[in-house]
Structure 1
Amino acid sequence: MTDPDLLAEIAPTGRLRVAINYGNIVLAQEQADGTPGGISAVLARELAERLGAEIDFATYSSAGQVTAALADAPWDLAFLAVDPKRAETIAFTAPYVEIEGTYLVPQASSCAACAEVDAPGVRVAVGQGTAYDLALSRTAEHVELVRYDTSPAAVDAYLAGETDVVAGVRQPLDRAAAAHAGHRVLADRFTAIGQAMAVPRGRDAALSYVSAFLAEVLGSGRVTQILADTGQDPALAAQG
């Protein structure tokens, strides 16, 4: 049985409130019945079961929306990319999945590597507040970042000709390239994105418990299994 004081810190309302980001299809997908699926939802349900707590999901269309929502304290657990800016208000476990940030470019583009995109006059579509938006905001020297509400909206804008390239997670960009002739995904990456479980900063006991839970499921191979079961590449699992 979970210690009452620990449970009160992890789920202060008595129910585990979990933020799910549908903007990253590697981690979350809406199921046919309208409920969240994907590795983040599976891990959340398994953690709630271990705690003996009921679960409430709140779904968002971007990681930026998940981060912004914390100001009103609507969630106890989230699944986000580790980022120094987010760490000001959010505490992260070790990553359980590692994905790549790269670019979708026109087939005729002269760019063969991500570093070549960072040139004056290049307009890059990004999902506002995403891990790769934050990464490029720190590292890109010349490009103009054009921000859209969600990652899918950024891809749509690029495909409509509003920008020169679009930055994003490799897997959805691969899908976009396969569905739209005349575009390709660069082979390398401009950032590696560690996806972690997260709790509001200041809940130290909660972070310790969630970190131990995640270490156990990583070490058992459960993360690899969930990725395969949810149609994602098992090789994305972080090394536990």
Structure 2
Amino acid sequence: MNTLNPSLLSTFVPTGTLRVGINLGNPLLASLDGNSGDPKGITVDIANYIATKLQLPITFTSYPMAGATVEAVKSNEVDLVFVAIDPVRGADISYTPAYIQIEGAYMVKDTSPLTKNEDVDAVGNEIVVGKGSAYDLYLTREIKHASLLRSANSQAVVDDFMKGIGNVAAGVKQQLESDALRYDGLRMLPGRFMVINQAIGIPKARVDFEKTNAYLSSEIQELKDSGFIAEAMLRHQVQGAKVAE
């Protein structure tokens, strides 16, 4: 049975309450309940499971985008977060293995001459991305010729794009497809430009964070093996993503 000894638990959860940072920048994984205003989604389910297993009270703090969530765990406002694995963030955050994989994709207007992902990285193209998102960090490293234009968050990408900003919108495939339903004259480029691996992150500044990460990693593996993640995806109607291997 996976467990944490009292000493390790006190370094992982120094206040005695598991403080969880929820990233609302990816509605596939978390959103606010329309009635209660409380966060809900796969990440909330996983956090509640861990708190129950450790017999701890739990509190949630919601953040509008991944960047703010990352800063919260780095500054010890929260004990763990749910964000995409990224090497830049990895300087300060220790990740579990991924629990779910999501595709990053491009969207253009019907009139665009661009027909495939490989067309995008060319001089003159301007890609609209959510500031501080996993795909912003990825494209910042990978794009050599096109320019990046950053929206305030992931949810603003399509609206900014339709206001005439940029000629390519980038983001989580399912979110782009959902946002595009509000407009005419848009199409997705086929395939994906990246796979986004979502995981639990904890601050490396904590004592014995490696041991805590090992515990959380074993819990994530158990949740994948037991079907918990797959069932949560069905319950929250998450489509187009898959349980990470």
TM-score, scaled relative to structure 1 = 0.95
In the alignment, the residues of structure 2 paired with residue 175 and residue 149 of structure 1 have an alpha-carbon distance, to the nearest angstrom, of 18
Letter paired with 1:167: A
Q: Kindly state the Cα deviation for residue 21 of structure 1 after the two structures are TM-superposed.
A: 0.6
| Residue of structure 2 equivalent to 1:30 | 32
Give the superposition deviation at 1:2.
4.9
Matched, 1:219 2:225: yes
Matches of 1:234 and 1:63 in 2, distance apart?
A: 20
Aligned partners of 1:16 and 1:133: how far apart in 2?
29
Name 2:112's counterpart in structure 1: 109
1:1-240 to structure 2, matched below 5 A, reads 2-32=4-34, 33-202=36-205, 203-233=209-239, 236-239=242-245
Question: Does the CA-based 8 Å contact 1:224-1:235 persist in structure 2?
Answer: no
| TM-superposition CA deviations, 1:154-184 (whole Å, max 9, x none) | 2211111122111100011011222211001
Q: Structure 2 counterpart of 1:6, which letter?
A: L
Cα distance change, pair 234–121 in 1 and its aligned pair in 2 (3 A): closer
Q: Percent of aligned pairs with the same residue?
A: 37
Moved over 3 A (4+): none
CA distance in 1, matches of 2:195, 2:98: 11
RMSD: 1.4
Distance 1:63 1:45 in 2: 20
Counting matched residue pairs gives 239
Q: Which letter maps to 2:217?
A: S
2-side partners of 1:98 and 1:166: how far apart? 20
Deviations 1:46-75 (A, max 9, x none): 100101111111101110111122342111
Aligned-partner Cα distance in 2 for 1:225–1:186: 30
Partner Cα separation in structure 1 for residue 53 and residue 240 of structure 2 = 24
CA contact (8 A) 1:124 1:164 kept: yes
SS at 1:40 equivalent: helix
